[in-house]
Amino acid sequence: MPDHNISIPPNGAPTTEKNCKAGQTVIWTNKHASRSVSFLTFPGCLTPATSPVSVPHGQPTPDVYTVRCDVPHGPYGYSYQFDPTPRQKHKTAPTTGTIDVS
């Protein structure tokens, strides 16, 4: 079980995950009922450094990420957006989140 499970809320509100420490594990869970989410940028404090292509609705990221031991303390940003539904032509506006390494 990961140390931090960051929820991606259905309304896309920005989130901040506090008190992440070197060596702790992180996943994200997409809480939207029907839309997948795609990461646009990924926080540089995590390994592996590759973001998932898309996270299906109601599902966690397929990988567990670890806070790197060689990064300075501080905030690390990332961004994501919900994929369009079949009736939409465009994706939603990007949303940002932060992982605070302490």
**98 DSSP β-pair partners:** 16, 77
CA separation for the pair 40, 82 (Å, rounded): 10
Q: Which CATH number fits the domain that encloses residue 59?
A: 2.60.40
Domain that holds residue 57: 4-101
Question: What does the pLDDT read at residue 13?
Answer: 82
Question: What does the pLDDT read at residue 43?
Answer: 95
pLDDT tens across 29-42, in order?
A: 999 988 899 999 99
Model confidence at 85: pLDDT above 90? no
CA separation for the pair 69, 83 (Å, rounded): 33
Domains in the chain, number = 1
Percent helix, percent strand, percent coil in the chain, to nearest 5: 0, 45, 55
